[in-house]
């Protein structure tokens, strides 16, 4: 029975690998939850930081993050849906536009986040922003500087592939018979898409949006120089304001605070808030996507 014992060893190793990964995740969550729980309170999420970041809360960062991803969503979801519709409904597979945009979206997913930061700085801030200043604001520095608008646009570009993948999957899952029926009744192609296909794919749009938000809330490198700030006395109110942000806050606190031990409790709690936020979003998206897979013809 030697094959049995050999098999058992190898299969055991593969199971061990899976277990190790799961364990590491559990450790991460556990460590943050247990250390961050202490300082978590209503006060924490509703107040601004005080005392050199050793007391108070992180409300401005939460507000800034929320505003940021909201703006981002406004830009990325419509664009992502349109590109997904192109891929799924209109594209000619052999045409150059399809191949170029397919390749572009695939590669966009692999661009390092700091390069997005450079892009945000070089194109949005120093390019579009400076041009706007010159033409609309009489050379006064309004948009040619780090601003929440540019940060939102930079993140929109970064999360575009996420939205496209999700929406395209949902569109492809819509049965062809729906389209046929609609067209047979005299509807145009765009009517069919917007009245029949897209509504059926709404869960996919939701999933895409949620995953994009989750990703956008967690990325720090792209916004390092495009709008995030460590401490601001007021909340962002205009599109060209800077803003505080959870991830950025964690980064600066961790690496640049003079006394890490003092700020550690607050730091852990901030991390917990960010982690809880992204987890909640991810779990929701996974749940929606699983439901979508089961209802449209069996999962894997």
Partner 1 sequence: MVWDKFARGLIYLAAVVSVSIIVLIFIFVGKEALPILTSGEVHKEVTLSTMFRAQKYGTAEAPLPYVWQPVSEVPKYSLLPLFLGTFKVTIVAMLFATPLAIFAAIYTTEFAPRWLREIIKPVIELLAGIPSVVLGFLALIVLATVLQDLFDLDYRLNAINAGIALGLAAIPVIYTISEDALNAVPKAYRNASLALGGSPWQTAWKVMLPAAMPGIFAAVVLGFGRAMGETMVVLMASGNAAITSWVFAEPVRTLSATIAAELGEVVQGSAHWHVLFFLGTVLFVITYSLNALGVVLVRRLRRRLTGGA
* Binders of partner 1 in range 91-110 (CB under 8 A): 91, 97-98, 100-101, 103-110
Q: Which stretch binds partner 1 (CB under 8 A): 53-61, 112-120, 166-174, 177-185?
A: 112-120
What backbone torsions phi and psi does residue 207 show, to the nearest 5 degrees?
-55, -50
37 binds partner 1 (CB under 8 A): no
> Of residues 76, 174, 271, 288, which one binds partner 1 by CB under 8 A?
271
> Of residues 33, 47, 66, 123, which one binds partner 1 by CB under 8 A?
123
Q: Which stretch binds partner 1 (CB under 8 A): 37-45, 52-60, 173-181, 184-192?
A: 184-192
Q: Of 206 and 220, which CB lies nearer to partner 1 in the complex structure?
A: 220
Residue 245's DSSP bridge partners are none
Q: Which stretch binds partner 1 (CB under 8 A): 20-28, 54-62, 137-145, 230-238?
A: 20-28
User: Is residue 29 classed exposed, middle or buried when 0-12, 13-18 and 19+ CB atoms within 10 A define those classes?
Assistant: middle
Q: Of 88 and 240, which CB lies nearer to partner 1 in the complex structure?
A: 88
Contact status, residue 60 vs residue 235, Cβ threshold 8 Å: yes
Shortest approach of partner 1 to residue 134 CB, angstroms? Answer: 16
* Cβ neighbours around 88 below 10 Å, total: 20
The sign one gets for the Cα dihedral 129, 131, 133, 135 is negative
Q: Which residues fall within 8 angstroms of residue 223, CB to CB, at 6 or more apart?
A: 68, 117, 120, 151, 154, 155, 245, 248
Q: Which stretch binds partner 1 (CB under 8 A): 132-140, 198-206, 233-241, 273-281?
A: 273-281
User: Is residue 155 classed exposed, middle or buried when 0-12, 13-18 and 19+ CB atoms within 10 A define those classes?
Assistant: buried
Contact status, residue 173 vs residue 255, Cβ threshold 8 Å: no
130 binds partner 1 (CB under 8 A): no
225 binds partner 1 (CB under 8 A): yes
Percentages helix, strand, coil for the chain, rounded to the nearest 5? 75, 0, 25
Shortest approach of partner 1 to residue 177 CB, angstroms? Answer: 21
53 binds partner 1 (CB under 8 A): no
> Of residues 113, 145, 262, 296, which one binds partner 1 by CB under 8 A?
113
């Amino acid at each position: 029975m030697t094959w049995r014992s050999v098999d058992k060893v190898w299969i055991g190793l593969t199971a061990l690998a899976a277990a190790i990964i799961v364990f590491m995740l559990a450790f991460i969550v556990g460590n943050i939850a247990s250390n961050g729980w202490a300082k978590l309170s209503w006060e924490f999420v509703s107040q601004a930081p005080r005392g050199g970041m050793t007391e108070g809360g992180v409300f401005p960062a939460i507000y800034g993050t929320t505003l940021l991803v909201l703006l981002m969503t406004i830009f990325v979801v419509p664009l992502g849906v349109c590109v997904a519709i192109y891929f799924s409904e209109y594209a000619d597979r052999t045409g150059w536009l399809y191949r170029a945009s397919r390749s572009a979206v695939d590669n966009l997913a692999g661009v390092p986040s700091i390069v997005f930061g450079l892009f945000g700085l070089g194109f949005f801030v120093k390019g579009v922003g400076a041009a706007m200043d010159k033409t609309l604001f009489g050379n006064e520095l309004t948009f040619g500087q780090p601003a929440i608008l540019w940060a939102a646009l930079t993140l929109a570009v970064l999360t575009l592939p996420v939205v496209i993948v999700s929406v395209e999957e949902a569109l492809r899952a819509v049965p062809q018979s729906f389209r046929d029926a609609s067209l047979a009744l005299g509807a145009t192609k765009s009517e069919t898409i917007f009245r029949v296909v897209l509504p059926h794919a709404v869960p996919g749009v939701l999933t895409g949006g949620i995953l994009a938000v989750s990703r956008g809330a967690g990325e720090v490198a792209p916004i390092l120089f495009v709008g995030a700030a460590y401490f601001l006395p007021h909340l962002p109110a205009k599109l060209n304001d800077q803003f505080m942000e959870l991830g950025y806050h964690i980064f600066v606190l961790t690496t640049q605070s003079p006394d890490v031990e003092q700020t550690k409790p607050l730091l852990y709690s901030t991390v917990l808030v960010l982690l809880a936020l992204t987890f909640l979003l991810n779990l929701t998206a996974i749940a929606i996507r699983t439901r979508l897979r089961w209802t449209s013809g069996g999962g894997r």
